[in-house]
Amino acid sequence: MLTCLALLLLNAGCVRTLVNRRLDRPDRYTIVRDQLVIHCDFEVPARHRLLDELTARREDLRRELAYASSEEPIHVYLFEDANRFKEFVREEHPGFPNRRAFFVESDTRLEVYAHWGGYVGEDLRHEVTHAYLHSVLPDIPLWLDEGLAEYFEVPRGRHGLNRDHLVRILARDDATAADSSSARPPRERLYRLPNLARLESLDSEQVLPQDDYAECWAWVHFLLESSTETKTLLREYLYRLHVDGSTVPLSSRMAWRLGLTADQLADRMAEHILETARSAGFTDSAGGAPAREERPDTLGSSDVQ
Ligand SMILES: [Zn+2]
């Protein structure tokens, strides 16, 4: 097909115009909001509340994770039309799976691509979180990158309570999973035994199943929401990662600093999640896996998330 197009280009200038337009990124309008440079072909008010929220996310991340923010621009390409977005992805990145949005990191640019559909808020909060993180922490491990993106994709003011993941992480074959009177250890009342060391060992190019996304989110929710002690541990870990590029895995750091075995750490995390479920009004999880649309997310490449 490319050969055919090349031959046509020699004979018909209009074909060149057509081909170029199909491959172009949106660029008619540009809105600069701090680190974000938003490109689109349709009018979005510069003070749109979604853009306000995305801009504020930068400060949320800086405050919660206590790192120095970057000034590196993040280019956000917003397509108005889903079909044009799909066509662009198919032609520019033919190896990518079919997703609603994605983040691409190269040596020189941070880019987010999305279309203005019904999930654009969730999609942009997720992908822009990846971009903010990578502007400061290019070596962030996959599990933490995705866990933070899942936490911060939730609208502001909800403390990262991702209800889809909460539904998924409760044991699906046991209606008493969230019952505090159960004699089973907390870690055995989730959908599977939590294992942070396993998540830490995942290849950064791996495509995560939804169950892994849920566990990544759960560990991040535990770190940020269960105690000042765990939040401080996360901040210290990120600081070392920022300064040194790599550091002792967080599971080892936590076990040592908190004086816990791996099972005790899993119990601590599971207790937090079960309490979070009870507070959120979840009493059981007998309904099986949640009916959740497949998320746009990590695209199976170290520089695409
Ligand atoms: Zn992601």
Q: Give 180-209 pLDDT, tens digit per residue.
A: 556 788 998 888 889 999 999 998 888 899
- Answer yes or no: is 142 within a domain: no
**Shared-domain flag, residues 63 and 113:** yes
User: Which of 81, 115, 136 lies at the terminal end of a domain, its last residue?
Assistant: 136
- pLDDT, residue 154, reads 96
Give per-residue burial for 195-210: e unless 16+ CB within 10 Å, then b.
bbeebbeeeeeeebeb
Interval between CA 213 and ligand 1 midpoint (Å): 9
**Shared-domain flag, residues 83 and 47:** yes
Predicted confidence (pLDDT) at residue 283 exceeds the cutoff of 90:
no
Cβ contact 209:300 at 8 Å: no
What CATH number does residue 84 fall under? 3.40.30.160
- Answer yes or no: is 170 within a domain: yes
- pLDDT, residue 142, reads 96
52-78: average pLDDT: 94
Q: Which residues surround ligand 1, an ion (CB under 5 A)?
A: 146, 149, 297-298, 305
Cα–Cα separations (whole angstroms), residue 97 to 93, 100, 106, 110: 9, 10, 19, 19
The highest-confidence range among 177-186, 202-211, 287-296, by mean pLDDT, is 202-211
Interval between CA 212 and ligand 1 midpoint (Å): 12
- Answer yes or no: is 241 within a domain: yes
Instruction: Choose among 68, 69, 71, 79: nearest CA to 38.
Output: 79
Cβ contact 161:154 at 8 Å: yes
Interval between CA 142 and ligand 1 midpoint (Å): 9
- Answer yes or no: is 294 within a domain: no
Tell me the two tokens of residue 19: 């081909």
**Shared-domain flag, residues 155 and 274:** yes
The confidence band for 174, taking pLDDT boundaries of 50, 70 and 90, is: low
Cα–Cα distance between 67 and 62 in angstroms, integer? 5
Residue that the structure tokens 């691509």 belong to: 113
Radius of gyration of the chain from its Cα atoms, rounded to whole angstroms: 21
Q: What order do you get walking across the sheet with 36-40 strand by strand? A: 29-33, 36-40, 74-79, 110-115, 101-105
Give per-residue burial for 275-288: e unless 16+ CB within 10 Å, then b.
ebbeeeebeebeee
Give per-residue burial for 130-149: e unless 16+ CB within 10 Å, then b.
bbbbbbbbeebbbbbbbbbb
Cβ contact 303:130 at 8 Å: no
Cα–Cα distance between 204 and 200 in angstroms, integer? 10
Predicted confidence (pLDDT) at residue 123 exceeds the cutoff of 50:
yes
Question: Total structural domains in the chain?
Answer: 2
First CA to last CA distance, the chain: 29
Indicate the DSSP class of residue 154: S
Interval between CA 18 and ligand 1 midpoint (Å): 33
- pLDDT, residue 172, reads 56
Cα–Cα separations (whole angstroms), residue 22 to 38, 45, 125: 19, 25, 27
Interval between CA 228 and ligand 1 midpoint (Å): 26
Predicted confidence (pLDDT) at residue 13 exceeds the cutoff of 80:
no
User: Which of 90, 110, 136 lies at the terminal end of a domain, its last residue?
Assistant: 136
Cα–Cα distance between 100 and 111 in angstroms, integer? 14
Instruction: Please state the pTM of the whole predicted model.
Output: 0.84
- pLDDT, residue 272, reads 97
| Residue 293 CA, distance from chain mean position | 15
Average per-residue pLDDT for the chain = 84
Interval between CA 42 and ligand 1 midpoint (Å): 26
- Answer yes or no: is 15 within a domain: no
- Answer yes or no: is 48 within a domain: yes
**Shared-domain flag, residues 268 and 156:** yes
- Answer yes or no: is 2 within a domain: no
**Shared-domain flag, residues 173 and 253:** yes
- pLDDT, residue 179, reads 56
- pLDDT, residue 290, reads 41
**Shared-domain flag, residues 182 and 268:** yes
- pLDDT, residue 115, reads 92
Give the structural domain span for 84.
25-136
The confidence band for 28, taking pLDDT boundaries of 50, 70 and 90, is: very high
Residue pLDDT, tens place only, 235-255? 999 999 999 988 999 999 999
User: Which of 91, 115, 136 lies at the terminal end of a domain, its last residue?
Assistant: 136
**Shared-domain flag, residues 162 and 101:** no
**Shared-domain flag, residues 153 and 263:** yes
**Shared-domain flag, residues 109 and 34:** yes
**Shared-domain flag, residues 237 and 119:** no
Cα–Cα distance between 216 and 208 in angstroms, integer? 10
**Shared-domain flag, residues 171 and 59:** no
**Shared-domain flag, residues 168 and 120:** no
Interval between CA 114 and ligand 1 midpoint (Å): 13
